[in-house]
Amino acid sequence: MHGASVSLVSHLMEVLHERCAVEPRAVRDAVDATEHYRVLNFLGDYFPAAELFAAFERLRSTRVAILGCGAVGSWTAVQLAHSGLENFIVIDGDQVEESNLNRSIFLHEDIGQPKVKAISSALHRISQRVRVRRVNENVCDADGLRALLSEARPDVIVNCADEPSVDLTSEWINEYCQDRRVPYVIAGGYNLHLSLIGMTVSPGVSACINCSRITLDELEDESLQGVRRLWRPKRNLGSLSPLTGITSSLAASEVLRLAVKSDRLRPAMWNRRGEFNFLTNELSFVDLPPRPECGCTAEDVRDRVSNNSQ
Amino acid sequence: MICGDDDQFGSLRLWLRDGVDVYISPDDVVHFVFLSTRKRLRLKVTPLLIECLEWLDGSASVMELDARYKAQASRLDSKHPSSFVDFIQYLYGKGILVRKDWMHNAFCPEQVERYSRQLNFFLDIEESEAAATALLKRIMNCRIALIGIGAVGSWILRELVQIGFQRFILVDPKTLKPADRTRNAIFDHLLIGEPKALVAERFVHSQALEPETRAIQSPLDIDTNVEELIGADTDLIINTADEPYIGATSIKLSRYCVEKGLPLLVAGGFDAHLASLSEIIVPGQTPCSDCYAMHFEETLRGWKPISHPIVDRRRGFGGLPSLSAFAASAAVLKIVRLLSENGGDVEQGRGEFLFDQYSIDSFKVERNPECPTCGDFERLQARAD
Ligand SMILES: [Zn+2]
Ligand SMILES: [Zn+2]
């Protein structure tokens, strides 16, 4: 630094600080003093020191609703509690059964308990500060879900419910969320050796579930068009815990990105869906852009684009 | 006529495997699509045989269905040269049909209840009842030494127990700390201060159906005698210990594993690499830790470190529980693939999961024939025999 002027050095420090490469000693010490230093350190890669604790506070206080507390839902919930989130709304009408233990966080002693109660115990083992609102019922239509969510007022919703079907529950959530401008994450699930990684939707910003369906329909496998599918009732598709782990880890990561509410760390699953392949260990993605014909965000996106260009 | 061994076949109640999609095109071609491998099989058959496919729900035996088929065929008053039993036997041989009760023949009711969805998964991967059964049995019998029950090790343990592993040697010298709240999958604030090896042991005993464990509260150090520490009955070692330094403990364990012909999985550990997808070392098949060390020495010679596109990967990377869960899941998948017959080749190389766009970076490393540890593996094995 021979010959460097003071202003040059201070400018350099400012740039490094903005790029999160250096942080004041006081912040460093404050981070080290908290139990959540690992998460703060992680966020420190995206947020400059002055914004770090505020970002963590936003994360901590986010109210997340988890619809469906099966394998993916239960895994997602515990990862969020380990990350420091403290406000949960868990929705599921089922009870824990022996057959759930091979892929969810439920324990042997939870068998026979409502899943929402078992999840609540799991979250309280992680932190006593956690508050869990338990909704021990199966949501069976859009109105029921709207009533429930209007009352609970979550900041983020994660859809892990596959009854009656993921498509249907996603549609109900989308209806509520587009209306209230609440972001949601479709956690996905698994389809044999594939872990599906769902999309993240921020109404007015990214493609919604209906936009994605328009694109997916266009991508349908043409080689099987015109053929009849054999009717198969009571199909029991396989599943494996680590595939649940992968799906839920990405769902939890997406919730964190939504929870910090900042352009510095935005969702990575806007406008796309992914698949993790057990056999090849590969992740692949399909782009699912906003579709103007959907009529949801399209207008807002268009408005914003035209505002920006003015 | 069904005779001889076919008698047995005739009594089977067969079920169209859930992992196979069936499509029928207007020209009576049946398309079987194996969902796990996307493999397809196309058969041109008679309309009556197509109708029979819907009967295969496990409610009637092959013999009963054959009688129903013959009755229908004679009512149709058409010549049906194709044999129903031959058709069914062919589909059974291809793994498209399975026995309705195949799980119950191999496992007790509690095991079937807990693992039925997983056995279905194994059936889709292994494509035969026998191989799927054998895979779960191998899982239940495999004795794993898990070294380090922390940010990645605890998540690995949790998943392993879920999928049926039950024999463990659990090694960790530390106690549960308040800050483990943000990283340990078996954290319970009521257990703060307890040795992690014991917390883990209690976890296995409360969840596994037939647990067999040893908890070891000593560290694995550079001068530790591995066999004295973990015993001689291990089938697989998982190293997630980041102290004193995972590179050092892994080289030590890798040399031990090459000598004993044991597989080793190195997961997590490096502070900056918590989302490392782990590497599996199978002596004689994959590079060993010394091969990796030589590879990096070679490729990095003359290179200067450059900055990584991620802003800064120092201590923060991997600080998220969700990244621990990802790394652990990838590691457990490697173990399942290692024990399976159709799980594909054991990967040679390393991979890393990048948080920014959820991409996987991976690269291959070959075994080094000059490796002082494993280069001589075949001769070493011959001598051992
Ligand atoms: Zn839309
Ligand atoms: Zn070697």
For the segment A205-219, the average pLDDT, to the nearest whole number, is 91
- The answer on pLDDT for B244 being more than 90 is no
- The answer on pLDDT for A55 being more than 60 is yes
Residues of B in contact with A97 (CB under 8 A): 113
- Count helices and strands in chain B by DSSP H and E runs: 14, 14
pLDDT confidence band for B377 (50 / 70 / 90): confident
Give the distance (Å) from ligand 2 centre to CA of residue B332.
Answer: 23
Lowest-confidence range among A87-96, A129-138, A209-218, B339-348?
Answer: B339-348
Lowest-confidence range among A195-209, B286-300, B342-356, B358-372?
Answer: B342-356
DSSP B273: G
- The answer on pLDDT for A301 being more than 60 is no
Residues near ion ligand 2 (CB < 5 Å) are B 288, 290-291, 371, 373-374
Q: What pLDDT, on the 0 to 100 scale, is given for residue A157?
A: 98
Q: What pLDDT, on the 0 to 100 scale, is given for residue B189?
A: 95
Lowest-confidence range among A37-46, A298-307, B89-98, B121-130?
Answer: A298-307
Contact check, Cβ <8 Å, A126/B181: yes
Of the residues B50, B322, B324, the best mutation for testing chain A's interface (the one with the most A CB atoms within 10 Å of its CB) is B322
Q: Please state, rounded to an integer, the average pLDDT across all residues of chain B.
A: 86
Q: What pLDDT, on the 0 to 100 scale, is given for residue A13?
A: 66
Lowest-confidence range among A17-21, A215-219, A236-240, A264-268?
Answer: A17-21
Lowest-confidence range among A123-127, A138-142, A164-168?
Answer: A164-168
Q: And the tokens for B130? A: 């026998």
CATH of segment(s) B142-302+313-384: 3.40.50.720
The third-level CATH classification (topology) of the domain covering B5-100 is Outer Surface Protein A; domain 3 (3.90.930)
Q: What pLDDT, on the 0 to 100 scale, is given for residue A309?
A: 42
pLDDT confidence band for A100 (50 / 70 / 90): very high
- The answer on pLDDT for A3 being more than 70 is no
| Cβ contact A132:A120 at 8 Å | yes
Lowest-confidence range among A31-35, A91-95, A219-223, A292-296?
Answer: A219-223
Q: What pLDDT, on the 0 to 100 scale, is given for residue A276?
A: 86
3 state SS of A96: coil
Strand partners, B350: B363
Residues of B in contact with A21 (CB under 8 A): 311-312
For the segment A257-272, the average pLDDT, to the nearest whole number, is 96
Contact check, Cβ <8 Å, A230/B318: no
pLDDT confidence band for B313 (50 / 70 / 90): very low
- The answer on pLDDT for B39 being more than 90 is no
Rg (chain A; Cα; Å): 22
Give the distance (Å) from ligand 1 centre to CA of residue A308.
Answer: 21
Range with the largest mean pLDDT of A174-183, A299-308, B371-380: A174-183
Q: What pLDDT, on the 0 to 100 scale, is given for residue A227?
A: 78
| Cβ contact B219:B197 at 8 Å | no
Q: How far is A310 from chain B (nearest CA, A)?
A: 31
| Cβ contact A86:A127 at 8 Å | yes
Range with the largest mean pLDDT of A226-240, A267-281, B188-202, B342-356: B188-202
State whether residue B19 sits within 8 Å of chain A by CB.
yes
User: Terminal CA-to-CA distance of chain B, rounded, Å?
Assistant: 51
For the segment A60-88, the average pLDDT, to the nearest whole number, is 97
- Residue closest to A137 by CA, chosen among A91, A172, A88: A91
pLDDT confidence band for B222 (50 / 70 / 90): confident
Q: What pLDDT, on the 0 to 100 scale, is given for residue A38?
A: 86
pLDDT confidence band for B3 (50 / 70 / 90): very low
- Residue closest to A67 by CA, chosen among A94, A100, A38: A94
* Contact residues, B window 133-162, toward A, CB-based 8 Å cutoff: 151, 155, 158-159, 162
* Percent of chain A surpassing pLDDT 90: 60
Q: What pLDDT, on the 0 to 100 scale, is given for residue A19?
A: 65
DSSP B313: -
pLDDT confidence band for A1 (50 / 70 / 90): very low
- The answer on pLDDT for B86 being more than 50 is yes
Q: Which helix (H) or strand (E) holds A167?
A: helix A166-180
Q: What pLDDT, on the 0 to 100 scale, is given for residue B311?
A: 34
Of the residues A126, A197, A221, A266, the best mutation for testing chain B's interface (the one with the most B CB atoms within 10 Å of its CB) is A126
pLDDT confidence band for B319 (50 / 70 / 90): confident
Q: Does domain A62-224+239-309 fall into CATH 3.40.50.720?
A: yes
Q: How far is B188 from chain A (nearest CA, A)?
A: 5
- The answer on pLDDT for A302 being more than 70 is no
Contact check, Cβ <8 Å, A79/B178: no
Each domain of chain B, given as residue ranges in start order, spans: 5-100, 142-302+313-384
What DSSP letter does each residue of B1-48 carry, written as one string?
---TTHHHHHT-EEEE-TTEEEEEETTTEEEEEETTT--EEEEE--HH
Are the folds of B5-100 and B142-302+313-384 the same? Answer: no
- In one-letter notation, the amino acid at residue B60 is A
Q: What pLDDT, on the 0 to 100 scale, is given for residue A195?
A: 75
For the segment B220-230, the average pLDDT, to the nearest whole number, is 93
Lowest-confidence range among A182-186, B8-12, B268-272?
Answer: B268-272
Each domain of chain A, given as residue ranges in start order, spans: 62-224+239-309
For the segment B127-154, the average pLDDT, to the nearest whole number, is 94
Q: pTM for the full model?
A: 0.89
Q: What pLDDT, on the 0 to 100 scale, is given for residue B361?
A: 84
Top-confidence residue, B27 or A2: B27
